[in-house]
Amino acid sequence: MPGYFETVPGGGAAVALDPVETSILRSLAVQLLELIGPGDEPVEGEDPLAALFAEGPSEAPADPALARLFPEAYVDPTSDPAAPDKEQLAASSEFRRFTENDLRTRKREDALSVVRNLDALAAAADDEPGLVLKLLPDESRRWLGTLNDLRLTIASRLDITEDDESELLYALPDEDPRKPMVMAYLWLGGLQETLVETLLP
């Protein structure tokens, strides 16, 4: 199972990761956590229930990567950005105010789960190199979310669209400065695809 997920009898998934792959995945997940942000801690003495109903931002993030992670809900992506539909923008703004905080929390928790799984694997590998990462079904879903978020982030940084996922990405010369990120993007895609297959009934 080197490099790709396989189904584990009884549910869950497993993948063999060497120390370099483990380190790369952990670094990417930590960078994703930094991009998403730490989240708002409740003010000391404030009712924690009130924090649950706190409103989030109403405008899309300026960072293109965050804009892909937290897209506009009601705006047609094919519409002219210079002439946006005001009703669609208003609906998206309202939707974002009441959903983005929760979405950020979920993405943060998913990425933290990935980091913890990798840390546990690295600690175990100190005693027994070559161990296989095994995930429970719930952990698999968290990994799937994080792998998707990582690919969206890298695609944004490289200005990759779905139409670019072709032979052009594989054909980049080694001296192209984008090559390492493109290879990570393609590798994450393979992990994501095989992890999806383990979750299918």
Q: For the segment 148-198, what is each residue's pLDDT rounded down to a tens digit? A: 999 999 999 988 876 556 667 778 888 988 889 999 998 999 999 999 999
* Contact by Cβ (8 Å): 36, 104: yes
Say how many residues make up the chain: 201
* pLDDT at residue 109 in the model: 96
pTM reported for the whole predicted model: 0.82
* pLDDT at residue 43 in the model: 52
* pLDDT at residue 65 in the model: 92
Of residues 42 and 146, which shows the higher confidence score? 146
First-to-last alpha carbon distance for the chain, in angstroms, is 20
Q: For the segment 50-90, what is each residue's pLDDT rounded down to a tens digit? A: 555 556 666 778 899 988 898 877 766 666 666 667 777 77
* DSSP-based three-state secondary structure for 3: coil
Select from 47, 33, 57, 8 the least CA-distant residue to 153: 33
Please state, in angstroms and rounded to a whole number, the distance separating the CA atoms of residues 161 and 155. 7
Quote helix, strand, coil % in the chain, to nearest 5: 60, 5, 35
Q: Rounded to 5 degrees, what are φ and ψ at 47?
A: -60, 120
